[in-house]
Amino acid sequence: MDIQLAWLCLIFPFIGVLVTPFLARISTSVMNFGAVFFSFLAAVCALMLFPLLFSAEALPLESQLVWLHTPITVSFGVLVDPLSIIVANVVAVISFFIMVYCVGYMKGDPGIMRFWMLMNAFIGSMLLLVLANNLIIIFIGWKLVGLCSYGLIGFYYRDEKKYWIGGPEPYSFDTPSACGVKAFIVTSVGDMLMLGGILIMYFYAGTFNVLELYQTAPEWIPEMAATPGMIILVSILLIAGPVGKSAQFPLHEWLPEAMSGPGPVSALIHAATMVKSGVFLIARFIPIFYYGYWTAGVDEAMYFFLIVAWIGAITAFLAASQGLVALELKKILAYSTVSQIGYMMLALGVAGFSQDLLVKGYAAGTFHLMSHAMFKACLFLCAGTVIHAAHSIYINDMGALRKFLPYTWLFMGLATLSLIGVPPLPGFWSKEAVLLATLESQHIVLFLIVLVSVIFTAFYSTRYFGMMFHGKQSRHIKQELKKPHNHVHEGYFPQTFACGVLAAGIVIFGLMGMRVEYALYGLFETQLVQDLAHSTVLSVPSFDKTLIMVLSIGSVLIGVIPAYMFYIARKWDADAVYENSRVVQLVHAFLWNRWYINAFYNWLFVKGVMGAARAVAEKVEIAVDTAINRLTPSGVFGLSGISVWFDRKGIDGFLDGMAYHVQNSAGGTLSRLQNGRIQDYLALAVIIALLVCGIIWLS
C-alpha cells in the first residue's frame, strides 16, 4: 500500500494536466477546482507516506517496472526512503497551498488553462524526480522540471511592457520570453554535464538503480579509482547539474531573471520544486562518495565534498551581498533563495569532511531545506499580493503599506523573521544546525564566510520589510490612492488563506524545531550508518551549541540594528550616507551590477559567440566568393548570380515544394497537432507517457 501511495503521489498531478482542458469546457470555476484538487490528492498521498519515518527500519521500499532488459536494463520505479519521503512532502504540500493561492492571484487571466497545466506538470515532474529509483528516470524528471520552468518563467511570452523586469529607468529591462530562454539554456549546460557523469558511472557500476549503486560501491568505486582523475571528473560532472538547477555559482545568474513569471510561479520554483532538486540530488550522491573516501580509501572522492562545500559558501556570500542593494522585491527574494541554497550545499559538503559529520551535515542540509521551503513560499506569495496591491515591483515605490495590508504584513513579517534566523522560528534552528556542522568541520574560513552571509541576510531582510510596510508613503502609492476605483488592499480570500496557513505552519514548525532536528539525526543515522553499512564515528559534538547560538544571534543583531535605524525607525538617512561616501557609491555600483558576473557572461557567451559567428560567416563567404569566381567565367554568373540561384531555386525551391506536398497530403492532420499551443503538446506527452506505463504495467 505504501508503494502504491508513492505511485499515486507522482501520477495525480499528471492526471491533472490531462483533465484540465476537458474541465475548461465546463467552466473556469470547475477547471480551477480540478487543477487544485489533483495537487491536493498528491499532497494527501505524500502525507500518508510520512508515518513511515517513525518506522525507519522498514525503509527503504522499492517498486519497479522493467522497461529495457537488453543490452541495457532500464527500469521505471519508485524508491521510498527517508530522503524521498521528506522532500516529496515538501514538494506536494507546499505546492498545494501555492495552487490554492493561484485561484485568487490568476483570476481573470486569459492563459489560465495553460497555467494550470504547466503548474501540475511542474509538480508532477518534481515528484517523479524525487521518488524515482534510478538515475535515468531521475534525469527525465529533471529535464521535465526544466521544460516546465521554461514555460512558466516565460508565461507572459507576448512580452507586454507591464511584465518586464529589471530597471528602473535608466537601467535595462528583461522580457519574460528572454528570461525563460536564459533559464532553460543555463540550466541545460549543467544538465548535459551531469548526464555525462551519470553515463560514466554506469560504465563502471553497470546499473542506474540508486540502491544498487550504494550496495555495489565496494566493487565499482575501486575500479573507477584505478584510472587517475576519473573520480574527480565524475564528481565535477555530477555536481554541474545541481549547480545549474539550484542556481549556484558559477551558474547562478539565471535565477534573478526567473522572476518574470507570475508570483506563484516564483514561489513554486524557489520554495518547493526546481531549486530544491539540486540539493536533493547532491544528498542522493553523498553515500557513494562518502563510502569512496572513508571506507574504500579513495582520496579523490574527497573532492566531491570540497567542491560542494566551497560552492555553497561562495554562493551564500555572493548572493546575500547582491540582495543588499536590489530594489525589485522578487529579485531580493531570489538572491535570498540563491544564498539559502548555498547554506544547504555547504552543510551537505561538510558532511564528508569527517566521519562524525556525515549525519550532522546531512541532517542540517535537509532540515534547512524543509524550513526554507515553508518561509520562502510564504514570502513569495505575500510578495505577489503586495505587488498586485501597489502596482509596482520596486520596494522604493512602496512604504507605509502596513495599514492597507495588515494580514500580509503579519504573515510576511513572520516569514522574514524566519529568514533572518530569529528564535524560535524554524529558520533559526536550521541555520544554527548548518553553522554547527560547518564549525565542527574545522574549516574556519568556510564558517566565517557563512557567518558574514548571516549578517547580510539580516540587513537586506530588514531593509525590504521596512521599505515596504513602514516609513512614509512613496509618491507612487499616493498617486495610486488618488486614482478612481483604485485602492491598495489585501488580495482575494484564497491568497490570504494560503499565506495565513503557511505563516501558522512556520510558527508551529519553529516551536518543534529542536525536536525535528534531533529526529532527523536519528532518522539519518539509521539510513546512512546502519542500512548502508557506512563506517562512521558518532561522537559528542566538539563545540557547544550555546556558542553557535550566541554567534548566530550576534550576527543577526549586527545586520538588523543598522537596517532598523535606516529603514524602519528612519533615524539614519541612507541617502545621505550614499551621497557623502565615495566608497559606499563604488561598493553599491559593484553590487548593483551583480559583481559584473552577468555582464561578463553576456559579453563572453552572447556577444562573443555572436561576434565569432559573424566573423566565421564573413570568412566563409569570402572564401566561397573567391572559389566560385575562379571556377566561373566573369560576368556569366558570378558569385551573386550563383548564390542567388542556389538559394532561391535550390534550397527555397526544394523546401517550398516539399512543404507544398506535405501540406496537401498530411497538412490537415498535422495542423491539428502542430498548433503552437504548449498545453496541447504537454497533454500529448503526458498521454503517451501514461500509455507506455500502462502497457508496461499490464505486460
Which pLDDT band holds residue 618 (cuts at 50, 70, 90)? confident
Rounded to an integer, the average pLDDT of 388-405 is 90
Global pTM?
0.85
Rounded to an integer, the average pLDDT of 8-30 is 93
Rounded to an integer, the average pLDDT of 428-438 is 94
Supply the pLDDT for residue 644. Answer: 44
- Tell me the pLDDT tens digit for each residue of 543-580: 567 888 899 999 999 999 999 999 999 999 999 999 99
d(CA 566, CA 571): 6
In terms of C-beta distances under 8 Å and separation of at least 24 residues, what long-range contacts does 444-448 make, across chains too?
446/309, 446/310, 446/313, 446/346, 446/350
Better-scored residue on pLDDT, 255 or 502? 502
Residue 629 pLDDT > 70? no
Which pLDDT band holds residue 691 (cuts at 50, 70, 90)? low
Burial of 71 (0-12, 13-18, 19+ CB in 10 A): exposed
Rounded to an integer, the average pLDDT of 194-209 is 93
Comparing 20-29, 507-516, 542-551, 556-565, the range with the smallest average pLDDT is 542-551
Residue 127 pLDDT > 50? yes
Contact call for residues 146 and 21 (beta carbons, < 8 A):
no
Total residue length of the chain: 699
Residue 694 pLDDT > 70? no
The H or E element spanning position 596 is none
Q: Which DSSP string corresponds to 391-429?
A: T-SBGGG---GGGT-HHHHHHHHHHHHHHHT-TTSHHHH
In three-state secondary structure terms, 442 is coil
Residue 47 pLDDT > 90? yes
d(CA 505, CA 499): 10
Contact call for residues 245 and 148 (beta carbons, < 8 A):
no
Which pLDDT band holds residue 70 (cuts at 50, 70, 90)? low
Contact call for residues 106 and 112 (beta carbons, < 8 A):
yes
Instruction: Give the burial string for 472-484 (b: 16+ CB within 10 Å, else e).
Output: ebbebbeebeeee
Residue 530 pLDDT > 80? no
Which amino acid, 207?
T
Q: Is cis: bond before 170, omega within 30 of 0?
A: yes
Helices (H), 106-229: 112-131, 135-153, 176-205, 210-215, 217-225
The C-alpha cell at 276 is 530544491
Q: What is the CA radius of gyration of the chain?
A: 27
Residues 6+ positions from 367 with CB-CB distance below 8 Å:
429, 430, 433, 516, 517, 520
- Tell me the pLDDT tens digit for each residue of 650-667: 434 443 444 344 334 433
Rounded to an integer, the average pLDDT of 671-698 is 50
Which pLDDT band holds residue 690 (cuts at 50, 70, 90)? low
Better-scored residue on pLDDT, 480 or 151? 151
Which pLDDT band holds residue 240 (cuts at 50, 70, 90)? very high
User: Helix, strand, coil shares of the chain as percentages rounded to 5?
Assistant: 80, 5, 20
d(CA 225, CA 235): 12
Phi-psi region of 570 (alpha: psi -120 to 50; beta: other; left: phi over 0): left
In three-state secondary structure terms, 196 is helix
How much is the mean pLDDT over the chain? 85
Better-scored residue on pLDDT, 483 or 149? 149
Supply the pLDDT for residue 182. Answer: 86
Comparing 66-75, 296-305, 484-493, 630-639, the range with the smallest average pLDDT is 630-639
Rounded to an integer, the average pLDDT of 414-439 is 94
d(CA 572, CA 565): 6
Q: How far is CA 229 from the centre of its chain?
A: 30
| Angle between helix 444-469 and helix 426-440 axes, rounded to 10 deg | 160
